[in-house]
């Protein structure tokens, strides 16, 4: 398929993996409904494993360049590919998540058999993985755009895989619209850039002050695709509608690819315009805050995870903006730290968010609902999933010793560095504001996930389905275990990982690579000692024999039911009230009965949050477009002769315009 | 083999289209189309000898074989099968359409003169513009689906004539691709006309107005 300049191991394995996936795209389509999930998952695992090998072996050597064969050239340009450290890191993430989700699919997908067309699903999934891996090695704008489009379309097909449901169809359309706009922005930016530089190669692009518009277009396109505020609307819908393995890949890898593109195109291209830096910093901060705030009040577990994805992407883009700012202000060590933190956070989020999505998928199928007010008491039914979910949440909340901690730590370090070393007082103040807000977001994240875990796993079941839930199968547990242990391992090995990522960051920023690791805390040692200490304390002071069993006082009302537990609404109410101007949070309480004050007969409560952006901005725009389209529909009369007349008039007008203008 | 002969061929092709605009008879229209296409093939060959390019001879042969022989034969077969031999026309009566087409011919001559600065001859360019406009007129003023196909073919001829005379020449592969496209398009359109006749018992496009978004 490819012509290699030097035929080496990682390029060969990469090409074989791509070939495998392209074959699977076709065979799954051919088999159609007869396509079997178990065989497909195993076949899917092979290229994923090959890609993993390719990514790991690519770490050990300098970047590899290869070009497409002349037959495959679209037009006149040679489509060059490049596999360097940055792309190999993302390829590693892609391959790891791809293999885990395919293992998970083995026991998850058979539960969806009524809605899912297996042939379409596996073919779209293979195409999705293929396009993402090709995107990661594309070194020029043309092939980048082609695979970007393929990625968008195949993920659209995957989101729509349960298209019998009305909600899923709506979500897919919203997603498609968002990706269309993103691609339009990107294409416009690329074409403008080509008209200035006269090359499609990313390595030839440099964004000086005069190239602000293309850089801005590209940045906006990437922001839309990664779901930053205010373009985040598609994200909760899409993640909720897609099957869990798909939402895992989308949240873990696909949205990260826009960060990859930002580093590859904008950071490598030397963007230093304040507008773009400001765009990343401000949108990042708002998304982090906004996403988490909405995650706090969600009732749907997957929607909660989706909003928390928005928060994480916000933090990641904050790191990116910070790195660009530090480079502009000529503080290389802060820039290096910030970009390291940004890539590290991306990498970590790529592991713990898929883990959480897979756990949510297990819960969804096992308890037959994702509604938090229907769940509860799953700790006894799904103990394994609970441990995995807990580990994922700890990582997400950036608590040591898991992986999220190291990247957040690096981000804060970068912010403090910047605040300390920058000469302008304005930048210092700005950094302090960012530190404060990110701190608040981190605290709220802990609250949010305490709620998610507490309501889902603790207490008693709030519905009979949740009470009878069962673990799915061995393969789902294996997939969760791999991802959870990856979170722990990356956390314990964070000094090494951070150093590796620091190299990538410094190469991208074109500054010399420092020798020391940016993350110096002896996390593994501390963890070992604290685990030993806790075990010691537990064994000698808190031992289990001292637990007393007694009944909870029920105020004399009789037996306590599951409804007397703290609910998902009541848990968030205090915080939701504080932020009620933003959330438009309203608590509607209706008390009925003769003596309402002392002996109410029925009490109804309902919490309401309105997304202002959706109702006040997007829906009016949509309504306007609908009305305009309705006007246009009037000229569609159905008569062929009328259509021909339109053609005729257009032609005549064009000729007249061509002749006299 | 001079440039005037090329112009003559182009104008004769345009006049063929004008005759088609004036005729109700479908078989006669197909005959005129054949004549027109043969003239175009001649024009291509003349152009080939003027520029001494062997490629253009090949294209001329291909046009003669595909567009001047196979497509008319196919259309005649469809006409026989459908048993529809004439087209009553709609909006404007055919004799009037013929006059209109002559006026368009004159208009396109002046139009092309005002656009100017192209390398090829302006006579051939105006002939091709007139072909294009007459084709559109044919499609606009005819009732049966078969006439629409013939009108479309005339438009295609006009575009081809323009491309052939005004540019230094398209690559052979592009020409062949376009030829194949036209052939496939006509085949499909003919078969669809067949199906329409079968299901609605007519091929009157004015009655096919239901297919739209409400």
Q: What pLDDT shows up at residue B211?
A: 64
Regarding whether A518 and A470 lie in a shared domain, the answer is yes
Q: What pLDDT shows up at residue A289?
A: 93
Regarding whether A399 and A283 lie in a shared domain, the answer is yes
Q: What pLDDT shows up at residue A218?
A: 92
Q: Are A288 and A311 in contact (CB under 8 A)?
A: yes
- Going by pLDDT thresholds of 50, 70 and 90, the confidence category of residue A359 is very high
Residue A138 pairs in a beta bridge with A81
- Going by pLDDT thresholds of 50, 70 and 90, the confidence category of residue B35 is very high
Q: How far apart are CA A462 and CA A565, in angstroms?
A: 9
Regarding whether A517 and A434 lie in a shared domain, the answer is yes
Tokens at B120, concatenated: 């090829």
> Which residues of chain A make contact with B211, given a CB cutoff of 8 A?
638
| A204-212 CB contacts, 8 Å cutoff, 24+ apart | A205/A265, A205/A268, A205/A269, A206/A269, A206/A270, A207/A266, A207/A269, A207/A270, A207/A271, A207/A272, A207/A273, A208/A270, A209/A273, A212/A273, A212/A275, A212/A276
By three-state DSSP, how is residue A1 classified? coil
ipTM at complex level: 0.76
> Does residue A514 lie in a domain region?
yes
> What DSSP string runs through A595-647?
STTTS-SEEEEEEE---HIIIIIIHHHHHHHHHHHHHHHTT--S-HHHHHHHH
> Which residue would you say has higher pLDDT here, B97 or A6?
B97
- Going by pLDDT thresholds of 50, 70 and 90, the confidence category of residue A3 is very low
| Range scoring the smallest mean pLDDT among A477-486, A617-626, B49-58, B198-207 | B198-207
Q: How far apart are CA A486 and CA A505, in angstroms?
A: 22
* B118, pLDDT greater than 70: no
> Which residue would you say has higher pLDDT here, A544 or A141?
A141
Minimum distance, in Å, between the CA of residue A77 and any CA atom of chain B: 19
Q: Are A438 and A315 in contact (CB under 8 A)?
A: yes
Regarding whether A400 and A492 lie in a shared domain, the answer is yes
Residues A533-553 as b/e (b if ≥16 CB within 10 A, e otherwise) read eeeeeeeeeeeeeeeeeeeee
pLDDT tens track for A435-481: 999 999 999 999 999 999 999 998 888 888 888 888 888 888 999 99
> Does residue B205 lie in a domain region?
no
Minimum distance, in Å, between the CA of residue B120 and any CA atom of chain A: 17
The dihedral sign for the CA sequence A352, A355, A357, A359: negative
The minimal CB distance from A655 to the residues B111, B206, B210 is found for: B111
> Does residue A88 lie in a domain region?
no
The minimal CB distance from A639 to the residues B115, B129, B209 is found for: B209
> What DSSP string runs through B1-14?
--HHHHHHHHHHHH
Give the contacts of B118 (CB within 8 A, at least 6 positions apart).
B125, B166
> Does residue A315 lie in a domain region?
yes
| Range scoring the smallest mean pLDDT among A294-298, A391-395, B50-54 | B50-54
Q: Are A174 and A234 in contact (CB under 8 A)?
A: yes
> Which residue would you say has higher pLDDT here, A11 or A242?
A242
Q: What pLDDT shows up at residue A196?
A: 87
Task: For strands A602-608 and A586-592, give the pairing.
Answer: antiparallel
Its domain, for residue A572, covers 568-608
- Of the candidates A641, A638, A644, the one whose C-alpha atom is nearest the C-alpha of residue B214 is A638
Minimum distance, in Å, between the CA of residue B137 and any CA atom of chain A: 8
B115 in contact with A, Cβ within 8 Å: yes
> Does residue A190 lie in a domain region?
no
Query: What beta strand segments (E) does A58-216 contain?
Result: 64-68, 80-83
* Averaged confidence pLDDT in chain A: 86
- Of the candidates A119, A133, A141, the one whose C-alpha atom is nearest the C-alpha of residue A32 is A119
Q: Are A352 and A487 in contact (CB under 8 A)?
A: yes
Tokens at B191, concatenated: 């078969």
B206 in contact with A, Cβ within 8 Å: yes
B103 in contact with A, Cβ within 8 Å: no
Q: What pLDDT shows up at residue A433?
A: 93
CB pairs A-B closer than 8 Å: 40
* A386, pLDDT greater than 60: yes
Q: How far apart are CA B129 and CA B109, in angstroms?
A: 8
Its domain, for residue B121, covers 3-200
* A624, pLDDT greater than 70: yes
Q: What pLDDT shows up at residue A308?
A: 93
* A4, pLDDT greater than 60: no
Minimum distance, in Å, between the CA of residue A638 and any CA atom of chain B: 4
> Which residue would you say has higher pLDDT here, A339 or B87?
A339
Minimum distance, in Å, between the CA of residue A187 and any CA atom of chain B: 27
Q: What pLDDT shows up at residue A518?
A: 81
Regarding whether A629 and A600 lie in a shared domain, the answer is no
CA angle A608, A614, A620 (to 5 degrees): 125
- Of the candidates A504, A184, A470, the one whose C-alpha atom is nearest the C-alpha of residue A340 is A504
CA angle A467, A468, A472 (to 5 degrees): 125
Q: What pLDDT shows up at residue A358?
A: 93
Regarding whether A574 and A641 lie in a shared domain, the answer is no
> Which residues of chain B make contact with A658, given a CB cutoff of 8 A?
115
Q: Considering its fold, how many domains does chain B have in total?
A: 1
Regarding whether A410 and A294 lie in a shared domain, the answer is yes
pLDDT tens track for A148-184: 999 999 999 999 988 888 889 989 999 999 999 999 9
Q: Are A66 and A11 in contact (CB under 8 A)?
A: yes
Regarding whether A392 and A278 lie in a shared domain, the answer is yes
- Going by pLDDT thresholds of 50, 70 and 90, the confidence category of residue B12 is very high
* Rounded mean pLDDT, A70-79: 55
By three-state DSSP, how is residue A567 classified? coil
CA angle A409, A97, A411 (to 5 degrees): 15
* Rounded mean pLDDT, B91-114: 85
| Range scoring the smallest mean pLDDT among A81-95, A488-502, A624-638, B159-173 | B159-173
Tokens at A141, concatenated: 């704008």
Q: What pLDDT shows up at residue A68?
A: 60
Q: Are A240 and A302 in contact (CB under 8 A)?
A: yes
Regarding whether A522 and A623 lie in a shared domain, the answer is no
> What DSSP string runs through B35-75?
HHHHHHHHHHHHHHHHHT-HHHHHHHHHHHHIIIIIHHHHH
The last residue of one of the domains, among A521, A536, A551, is A536
By three-state DSSP, how is residue B21 classified? helix
> Does residue A230 lie in a domain region?
no
Q: Considering its fold, how many domains does chain A have in total?
A: 3
Regarding whether A463 and A380 lie in a shared domain, the answer is yes
Regarding whether A375 and A512 lie in a shared domain, the answer is yes
Q: What pLDDT shows up at residue A545?
A: 67
The minimal CB distance from A640 to the residues B114, B136, B208 is found for: B208
* Cβ-defined contact of A637 to B212 (cutoff 8 Å): yes
CA angle A492, A497, A501 (to 5 degrees): 155
> Which residues of chain A make contact with B208, given a CB cutoff of 8 A?
640
- Sheet of strand A2-4: strand arrangement: A2-4, A64-68, A80-83
Chain B nearest-CA residue for A661: B115
- Of the candidates A122, A137, A145, A136, the one whose C-alpha atom is nearest the C-alpha of residue A67 is A137
* A52, pLDDT greater than 80: yes
Tokens at A470, concatenated: 């069962």
Q: What pLDDT shows up at residue A7?
A: 57
The minimal CB distance from B209 to the residues A638, A648, A651 is found for: A638
Regarding whether A394 and A356 lie in a shared domain, the answer is yes
Give the contacts of A612 (CB within 8 A, at least 6 positions apart).
A582, A584
* A392, pLDDT greater than 90: yes
Q: What pLDDT shows up at residue A219?
A: 93
> CA-CA distances (angstroms) from residue B129 to A106, A650, B62, B175?
63, 15, 23, 19
Tokens at A160, concatenated: 């729509």
The last residue of one of the domains, among A512, A536, A560, is A536
The last residue of one of the domains, among A536, A551, A582, is A536
> Which residues of chain A make contact with B133, given a CB cutoff of 8 A?
651
> Which residue would you say has higher pLDDT here, A655 or B32?
B32
Q: What pLDDT shows up at residue A5?
A: 47
Give the contacts of A192 (CB within 8 A, at least 6 positions apart).
A211, A213, A214, A217
> Does residue A145 lie in a domain region?
no
Chain A nearest-CA residue for B207: A639
| Range scoring the smallest mean pLDDT among A244-258, A289-303, B120-134, B162-176 | B162-176
State the helix-helix crossing angle for A494-509 and A332-367, rounded to 10 degrees: 120
pLDDT tens track for B123-150: 888 898 899 889 988 888 888 888 888 9
Tokens at A100, concatenated: 């885990």
B8 conformational bin, left if phi > 0, alpha if psi -120 to 50, beta if neither: alpha
């Amino acid at each position: 398929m490819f012509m290699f300049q030097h035929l080496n191991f990682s390029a060969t394995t990469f090409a074989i993996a791509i070939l495998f996936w392209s074959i699977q795209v076709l065979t799954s389509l051919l088999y159609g409904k007869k396509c079997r999930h178990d065989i497909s998952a195993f076949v899917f695992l092979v290229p994923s494993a090959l890609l993993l090998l390719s990514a790991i072996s690519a770490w050990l050597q300098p970047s590899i360049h290869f070009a497409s064969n002349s037959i495959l050239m679209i037009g006149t340009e040679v489509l060059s590919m490049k596999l360097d450290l940055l792309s190999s890191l993302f390829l590693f993430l892609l391959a790891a998540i791809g293999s885990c989700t395919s293992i998970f699919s083995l026991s998850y997908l058979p539960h969806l058999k009524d809605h899912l067309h297996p042939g379409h699903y596996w073919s779209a999934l293979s195409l999705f993985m293929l396009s993402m891996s090709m995107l990661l090695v594309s070194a020029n704008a043309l092939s980048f755009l082609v695979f970007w489009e393929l990625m968008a379309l195949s993920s659209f097909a995957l989101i729509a895989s349960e298209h019998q449901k009305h909600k899923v169809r709506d979500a897919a359309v919203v997603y498609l619209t968002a990706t269309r706009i993103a691609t339009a922005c990107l294409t416009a930016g690329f074409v403008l850039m080509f008209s200035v530089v006269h090359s499609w190669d990313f390595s030839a692009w440099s964004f000086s002050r005069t190239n602000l518009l293309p850089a801005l277009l590209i940045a906006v396109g990437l922001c839309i695709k990664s779901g930053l505020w205010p373009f985040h609307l598609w994200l909760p819908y899409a993640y909720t509608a897609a099957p869990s393995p798909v939402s895992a890949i989308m949240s873990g890898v696909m949205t990260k690819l826009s960060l990859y593109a930002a580093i590859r195109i904008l950071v490598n291209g030397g963007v230093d315009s304040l507008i773009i830096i400001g765009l990343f910093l401000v949108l990042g901060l708002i998304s982090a805050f906004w996403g988490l705030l909405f995650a706090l009040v969600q009732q749907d577990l997957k929607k909660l995870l989706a909003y928390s994805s928005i928060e994480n992407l916000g933090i990641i883009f904050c790191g990116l903006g910070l790195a660009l700012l530090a480079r502009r202000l000529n503080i290389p060590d802060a820039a290096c730290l910030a970009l390291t933190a940004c890539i590290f956070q991306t990498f970590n989020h790529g592991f713990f968010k898929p883990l959480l999505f897979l756990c949510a998928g297990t819960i969804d199928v096992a308890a037959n609902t994702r509604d938090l007010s229907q769940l509860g008491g799953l700790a006894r039914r799904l103990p394994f999933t609970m441990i995995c979910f807990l580990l994922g949440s700890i990582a997400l909340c950036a608590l040591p010793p898991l992986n999220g901690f190291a990247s957040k730590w690096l981000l804060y370090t970068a912010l403090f560095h910047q605040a300390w070393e920058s000469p302008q007082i304005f930048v210092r103040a700005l950094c302090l504001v960012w530190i404060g807000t990110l701190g608040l977001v981190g605290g709220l994240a802990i609250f949010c996930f305490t709620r998610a875990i507490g309501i889902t796993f603790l207490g008693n079941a709030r519905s009979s389905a949740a009470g009878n839930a069962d673990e799915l199968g061995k393969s789902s547990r294996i997939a969760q275990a791999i991802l959870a242990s990856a979170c722990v391992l990356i956390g314990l090995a964070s000094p090494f990982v951070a150093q590796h990522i620091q190299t990538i960051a410094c190469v991208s920023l074109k500054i010399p690579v420092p020798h020391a690791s940016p993350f110096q805390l002896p996390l593994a040692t501390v963890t070992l000692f604290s685990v030993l200490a806790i075990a010691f304390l537990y064994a000698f002071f808190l031992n289990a024999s001292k637990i007393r069993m007694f009944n909870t006082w029920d105020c004399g009302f009789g037996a306590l039911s599951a409804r007397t537990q703290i609910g998902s609404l009541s848990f968030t109410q205090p915080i939701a009230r504080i932020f009620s101007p933003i959330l438009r949070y309203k608590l509607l309480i209706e008390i009925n009965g003769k003596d309402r004050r002392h002996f109410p007969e029925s009490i109804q409560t309902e919490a309401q949050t309105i997304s202002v952006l959706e109702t006040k901005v997007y829906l009016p725009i949509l309504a306007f477009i609908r009305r305009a389209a309705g006007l246009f529909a009037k000229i569609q009369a159905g008569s062929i002769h009328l259509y021909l007349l339109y053609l005729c008039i257009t032609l005549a007008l064009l000729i007249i315009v061509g002749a006299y203008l | 083999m001079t440039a005037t002969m090329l112009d003559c061929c182009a104008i004769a092709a345009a006049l063929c289209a004008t005759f088609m605009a004036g005729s109700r008879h479908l078989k006669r229209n197909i005959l005129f189309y054949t004549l027109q296409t043969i003239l175009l093939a001649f024009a291509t060959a003349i152009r080939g000898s003027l520029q001494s390019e062997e490629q253009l001879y090949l294209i001329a042969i291909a046009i003669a074989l595909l567009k001047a022989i196979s497509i008319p034969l196919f259309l005649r077969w469809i006409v026989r099968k459908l048993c529809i031999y004439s087209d009553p026309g709609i909006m404007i009566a055919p004799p009037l359409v013929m006059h209109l087409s002559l006026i368009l011919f004159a208009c396109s001559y002046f139009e092309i003169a005002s656009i100017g600065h192209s390398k090829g001859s302006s006579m051939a360019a105006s002939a091709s513009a007139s072909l294009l406009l007459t084709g559109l007129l044919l499609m606009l003023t005819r009732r049966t689906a078969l006439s629409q196909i013939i009108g479309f073919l005339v438009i295609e001829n006009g575009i081809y004539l323009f491309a052939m005379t005004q540019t230094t020449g398209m690559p052979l592969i592009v020409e062949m691709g376009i030829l194949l496209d036209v052939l496939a398009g006509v085949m499909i359109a003919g078969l669809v006309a067949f199906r329409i006749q079968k299901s609605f018992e007519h091929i009157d496009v004015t009655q096919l107005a239901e297919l739209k978004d409400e």
